[in-house]
Structure 1
Amino acid sequence: MLLAMITSIVGAIGFSCMLKLLHYFNFISWHPIGFVKKWELAIAPFTAWFLLGLSLFILFFIIYILLQYAWRVPAFFTSLVIGLAFAFLAEWIIYDLPAEKASFKKLSIPFIVITIATCRFVIETAQFHYYNRKFAYRNKLMYKNTMIK
């Protein structure tokens, strides 16, 4: 459980920093903490970034817990599917796009790549540690550690 929390914290901080960089260099035209204006919250920008990071932490924690049991499926495929779905859904909601073919041109490719990379980090870490715990008995020695051979 501690490993899940640490992985989720690192994923949330990294993803938040990458969102800030994407917005700073104009790779995305929306502001990552734009929900403050939309919901008319009177909070400081640092608090808004903290709320964004907290929600990302919860999302990555849930992904870690659920997908650690999918260790037979390669992390590449699961992160690709989940990352694409999350990125498309997020930008579709942010831009309020219609369900048309022309709407795909408005999606940000750097945002999609960052989302998939972060999902791969979280999912692959989860699967690796689950696999490591599940098959830990294979790594044990057949004799005592104190025995001299």
Structure 2
Amino acid sequence: MKVAIITSIVSALVLALCLRGLQFFHLIDWNPIGFYKKWELFEDSSKLFQWSFLTFILFLFGLFLYITLRYVHIIPAVLSSFLLGLIFTITLEWIVLDLPLQSASFKKLSIPFMVVVICLLRFLLETANFHQKEHTAQKGN
């Protein structure tokens, strides 16, 4: 469980920093902490608190993924991280940007955001698969 927590912390911090960098360089057309205004949560809070809370949410999501997907080590992490990353990023940007269901909407999706999420999912899944195989091998000895 210690490895799962450390891996989730690292992935959450890296994703939060990458989101901030993507926003700073205008590689994404949306604000990662913009949901606070939309849902009227923590509007009066500082930006540091808002980013910290987003990082905490990302940590919980990463921990959930680590724990649930470590038992799916039969499917290669390359394939599962690619498919999960594409589905997650396309769905998230479609909802955030409120895009219509047209083929022209695909041009508005952020490829750098997709790459960052896919790479971090690969990190999570490879670590989970490795430690699950190691745990299984230790049980056999």
**Under TM normalisation by the shorter chain, which class is it?**
over 0.9
What CA distance in whole angstroms lies between the structure 2 residues aligned with 1:137 and 1:31?
46
* TM-score calculated relative to the size of structure 2: 0.94
- Corresponding position of 1:37: 37
Output the CA distance in 2 between the equivalents of 1:137 and 1:7: 22
Q: CA deviation at 1:99?
A: 1.6
How far does the alpha carbon of each residue in 1:45-83 deviate from its partner, in whole angstroms, 9 at most, with x for none? 011101110111111111100110111211000100111
SS at match of 1:135: helix
Which string of whole-angstrom CA distances, capped at 9 and with x for unpartnered residues, describes residues 84-132 of structure 1?
A: 1110111011101122211111000000000100110011100110001
Q: Which is helix-richer, 1 or 2? A: 2
**2:125 match:** 123
Moved over 2 A (4+): none
Specify the alignment match of 1:26 in structure 2: 26
Question: 8 Å contact 1:64–1:126 — kept in the other structure?
Answer: yes
Partner residue in 2 for 1:84: 86
Match in the other structure for 1:62: 64
1:33 partner amino acid: I
**TM-score using structure 1 length:** 0.89
CA RMSD of aligned residues (A): 1.2
Instruction: Please give the alpha-carbon distance, in whole angstroms, between the structure 2 residues aligned to 1:82 and 1:42.
Output: 34
**What are the ranges of 5 or more consecutive residues in structure 1 without an aligned counterpart?**
141-149
- How many residue pairs are counted as aligned between the two chains? 139
Runs of at least 5 residues in structure 2 that lack an aligned partner in the other structure: none
Work out the CA distance in 2 between the residues paired with 1:86 and 1:52.
Answer: 17
Q: Which residue does the alignment assign to 1:2?
A: 2
Q: CA deviation at 1:137?
A: 5.5
Aligned counterparts of 1:124 and 1:99: Cα–Cα separation in 2? 34
